[in-house]
Amino acid sequence: MYKKSCTFDISEAFIKLRHHIVLQGGKYNYAEVLEKSILFYEAQRSGKLPANNRIPWRGDSALSDKGSNGEDLTGGWYDAGDNVKFNFPMAWSTTVLTWGMIQWKDAYEKTGQLNHMYESIRWPLDYLMKCHTKPNELYVQVGDGGKDHGSWTSPERMQGSRPAFKIDTTRGGADVGMETAAALAAGSIAFKTKDSAYSHKLLTQAKSIYQFARKTNNLYSNSVNAAAAYYKSNNITDELGWGALWMYKATGDKSYIAEAEKHHEPGAAWGFSWDEKTAGVNMLLYEITKNNKYKQDLIDTFKSWMPGGDLPYTPKCLAFRLEWGALRYSANTALIALMAADQGVNPALYRKWALSQINYALGDAGRSFVVGFGKNPPTRPHHRASSCPLLPAPCGWSAQQNPGPNPHTLYGALVGGPGKNDDYADDRKDYTKNEVACDYNAGFQSTVAGNVLPSARLLLNVSNYDTPRAWYWPCSF
């Protein structure tokens, strides 16, 4: 090993990046990645599958999911490699996927994926609306994580009833309520010209859930113990701002901006994820208000995240926030970088960095971390459904222990990723590095969409940026 310092001129990088994206479509086939990521979400579907189901090894499942009074809670996405529906990360994934679709709709159009994308986000949106069973009641989880993780089987083979958990005025959850409102509000924007009646329905539900969430000023995981071991919430301030901003974007009502600004958290953001929306809040605040204090928050965030900042980097240049699902954090933050670039904040620099993080996952590390894509992709993801043989064959722990590849290819799934030294083994039993999840793919897919076409369009019009001409990037190879 030796130290290699990467120094390049921003103008040169801009020209090369423009050439790659506009003329060649980029270093990797981003259109293929988009297509396969959408297929991953189709493989995560719960409930009665549509007649046009494209995943031949998946079938109807969890058709008896109900609330305490028999409410229909079928549908939605299974969370990860398990068979539980956790609404907090599901709603965030829906918001982020829809955000990318709204921002870079032409990427989906040009790659022939727009209709598939509408169908993709409609699946969880329909489910999330079902979960709003009363004005002051919202179901937030179906399935017991302990029981589910104590077995290894596909959704189609599940037997018995599944518990459902809700928040209400006595057991609140502003965080999951605001995220659900954000998802529905984003959906109403996306469907406004596609299906105005559906858009109106989404917005009506979003307003109702938003008002309910404002009354429940506490953490949902304190109310729903079943969620605490898996998706424990640590703060509601970011969700209060996040929900308000999406309501503004959907309605144009400026009172939502004032509400969001009350919950502004200045400075560098830790990152962007299902439980940490500060970077997203500051991004939307700057987009909407153009107030430079929010721009400074973004600059501070990327000063912290880029080489020479607060985060360590792997030898092959992955920004390494946490060991568990490392790739999701870099991909999610790359999404904020592209959104900031679209608003003229250090566009050449931020695009270059975002692209480097996505390309790491696609092959720059020497292998792909996306199932069914690129060089030496994972073939043994920690994922029950794809590891089980077709019915009527049985499936149990022997399928998890099987040393061979999963019998079904889980196209498009981004695995957790490497350790801090780029170390990785394609091991189904390793849920830290080789599990997949709806939230892993959300920021990743939207960032890929931002690299298909529109990124170059903005770069062509960039004349000023707030960075030195040379960017010094130290990295070990």
Instruction: Cite the active site residues.
Output: 426, 435
In 3-state terms, what secondary structure has residue 10?
helix
Torsion on CA atoms 321, 327, 333, 335, rounded to nearest 10: 180
Instruction: Please give the Cα distance from 265 to 333 (Å, whole number).
Output: 17
State the first-to-last Cα distance of the chain, in angstroms, to the nearest integer. Answer: 6
What are the Cα distances from residue 374, in Å, to 33, 183, 360, 469? 9, 31, 12, 33
In 3-state terms, what secondary structure has residue 345?
coil
Q: Residue 363 is which amino acid?
A: G
Do the Cβ atoms of 346 and 462 come closer than 8 Å? no
Contacts of residue 383, Cβ cutoff 8 Å, sequence gap at least 6: 80, 81, 406, 410, 413, 428, 435, 436
In this structure, what are the phi and psi dihedrals at residue 274, rounded to the nearest 5 degrees?
Answer: -60, -25
Of 183, 82, 96, 98, nearest to 138 (Cα)?
183
Instruction: Please give the Cα distance from 188 to 102 (Å, whole number).
Output: 11
Of 454, 452, 470, nearest to 462 (Cα)?
454
Of 212, 283, 216, nearest to 245 (Cα)?
283
Any bridge partners for residue 66, and if so which? Answer: 72
In 3-state terms, what secondary structure has residue 409?
coil
Token digits for 203? 């917005």
Instruction: Please give the Cα distance from 366 to 363 (Å, whole number).
Output: 5
Do the Cβ atoms of 435 and 387 come closer than 8 Å? no
Cα torsion 242, 248, 254, 255: sign? negative
